[in-house]
Structure 1
Amino acid sequence: MSIKIYGDPGSGSLRRVTSAAKIMGIPVERMHVDLFKGESHTPEFLEKLNPHGLTPVMVDSDVKLYESSAINLYLAEKVGSDLLGKTPEERREVLQWMFWSGEQWRVFFVFLFDERIGKRFLGQPEDKTIVDFASAKIRVAASVLDAHLADRQFTVGDHLTLADIDIAAPFSQTHRTKAPVDEFPNLVAWQQRILETVPAWAETKREVDHRIDSALGAAGIKL
């Protein structure tokens, strides 16, 4: 039985999983869930896949997981991938940065996306208070990350890890949300390096861009 991954191709969270799976050579069966049509909030989805109404969700035989980081950890352990780190020390650092990304980083980009993009689909104005709050939090976290990347090619060790994939995910939408990442040159250079050296990351960027730009166009929204 193939591993099924449920999600919308416009999702940066799905991008983390599909990119990691491709890098690790793990075949997955994509199950389309149209977030713009509310398909993740149907009674069947909420009952059988994720009661939070969020994607992606992974189903591997009798194993069901939601949350991209948890899915990627599961997949990496399943095949013994060094995306989890080559040594116990690297693994600890990878986990540290993945948790950091969830607590200090990605959530604030979600706030920006919801305010500057999501509300456009609802015909609502953005809340400047929330935008300013999220932008300030991003700057604080980005300054830490920028310093960390000053003399590094990757977040942990000398190779790509799940930490890089987790932290890079918000770049899926930064040119649309105008998140203040361009203020941090080491961070920008690191993201560009991943795009240029990891084909799966570049491929999934094209997928996200096509999906979101098509949805914006269909809704008559110009950013």
Structure 2
Amino acid sequence: MTIKIYGDAGSGSLRRVTAAAKIMGIELERVNVDLFKGESQTDGFKARFNPHGLTPVLVDGDTVLYEASAINLYLAGKVNSPLVGTTEKDRFHVLQWMFWSGEQWRTFTTTIFDERVGKTVMGLPKDEALLGFAEGKVRAAAKVLDKHLEGRKFMVGDALTLADLDVAAPFSQVDRAKFPFGDYPNLIAWHDNLLQSFPAWAETKAEVDNRIDTFLASVGVTL
């Protein structure tokens, strides 16, 4: 039975899933959900897939699963992928950084994206106080990452894991949302290595860029 993944090509969260699936050699059937048209906000979508009206959502037979990190762990379990770590110690560190990314990292980059990009598209004023708070949190987290990544090519051990993809997720929107990553050279070097070493991560970046940039041009928005 084909595994379906519902989402929008402009989503960095969908990118994490599609990139991981390509790396693991798992074929997914893509089902487009146009977030800009509000297709995930319908009562039908919320009732069937995700009550929050968010994507991506995986459907594998009777299994319906949302949250990109959970989806990637599910897919990795199906093929016994080393992306979850190859030792017990590494597996717990992979989970540590995946949880850290959700708690300390992506929640604040998402806030910045919503303020700088989302509100610009909607023609709403930015909340400068909120932006300052979120950027302070991002800088604090980036400082931790920069120290952790000194002398490392990967978040955990000597190979790519799901921790790398979770932490790399905000780079999908770094130029549009102007995250302050440039001040952290080890962070930049680590991400450059991911782009150069894993074609799936570069390919999915191009997909996100094309989707978002095409939409912004269609509504006459220049960031």
* CA positional deviation for 1:130: 1.2
Instruction: Give 1:142's aligned residue.
Output: 142
Instruction: Give 2:171's aligned residue.
Output: 171
Name the amino acid aligned to 1:52. Answer: H
Measured in 2, the distance between the counterparts of 1:122 and 1:2 equals 37
Task: Give aligned pairs, total.
Answer: 223
Structure 2 residue 55 is matched with structure 1 residue 59: no
Structure 2 spans left out of the alignment, 5+ residues: none
Name the amino acid aligned to 1:89. Answer: K
* CA positional deviation for 1:125: 1.6
* CA positional deviation for 1:133: 0.8
* CA positional deviation for 1:41: 0.4
Instruction: Give 1:10's aligned residue.
Output: 10
Instruction: Give 1:133's aligned residue.
Output: 133
- Taking the TM superposition and a 5 Å limit, the aligned residue runs for 1:1-223 are 1-223=1-223
Output the TM-score relative to the length of structure 2.
0.99
Moved over 2 A (4+): none
* Identical pairs, percent: 63
Measured in 1, the distance between the counterparts of 2:5 and 2:126 equals 32
Output the TM-score relative to the length of structure 1.
0.99
Name the amino acid aligned to 2:76. Answer: A
Name the amino acid aligned to 1:159. Answer: A
What is the RMSD of the two structures over their aligned residues, measured on CA atoms? 0.5
Equivalent position SS for 1:173: helix
Measured in 2, the distance between the counterparts of 1:115 and 1:16 equals 22
Equivalent position SS for 1:77: helix
User: Deviations along 1:110-148, whole A, 9 cap, x unmatched?
Assistant: 001100111122111211111111110000000001000
Equivalent position SS for 2:6: strand
Equivalent position SS for 2:30: strand
Larger mean CA deviation between 182-191 and 118-127 belongs to: 118-127
